[in-house]
Structure 1
Amino acid sequence: MSGVTYVTRDGDCLDNICWRHYGRSNQMVELVLEANHGLAERGAIYSENIAIFLPEVIEKPIEDNIINIWD
């Protein structure tokens, strides 16, 4: 599996890391947790110097039927 390793800064949280790296956190948090065994046990806010593997996403997300209020 290809991807990059992100090293945390004090106060980082996974949804923010995913938002900055992938441009979204929906479904990405779960993907990163699956790729990093034991990461969920570290809690929501990380200390510095934790290496987190961010896997490459090849497939495009399946979009739900989105209804806009202006449609």
Structure 2
Amino acid sequence: MIVEPVTVEGEFITVSLIVWRRFKRPMHGLVEQIHDINPGLADLGAFLPVGTSFDMPVPTPREPAILEPIKLW
């Protein structure tokens, strides 16, 4: 588990913004997992107040999906 504190004042910080800043790519389902393991986090509202800290699970890397090539002819 990673503990993420909200330390920036005057900025509108959301859970999904923190996930994006940490991983720099979409992490499907991670925001929902964060809300599941941190009861009451959603009650704080869409924008997290300064000083809020929450647990973030460490995501496991997924194997990239191998797609079939598209044949135009």
**What TM-score do the two structures reach when normalised by structure 1?**
0.69
Amino acid at match of 1:21: R
**Identical counterparts, % of pairs:** 19
Residue 20 of structure 1 aligns to a residue whose secondary structure is: helix
| Maintained 8 Å contact 1:33/1:39 | yes
**Can you give the 5+ residue segments of structure 1 that lack an aligned partner in the other structure?**
66-71
**What TM-score do the two structures reach when normalised by structure 2?**
0.68
2:4 equivalent in structure 1:
6
Q: Matches of 1:15 and 1:25 in 2, distance apart?
A: 9
Amino acid at match of 1:14: V
**Can you give the 5+ residue segments of structure 2 that lack an aligned partner in the other structure?**
68-73
1:8-47 equivalent positions in 2, closer than 5 A: 8=6, 9-10=8-9, 11-22=12-23, 23-47=25-49
RMSD value over aligned CA atoms? Answer: 2.4
Amino acid at match of 2:21: R
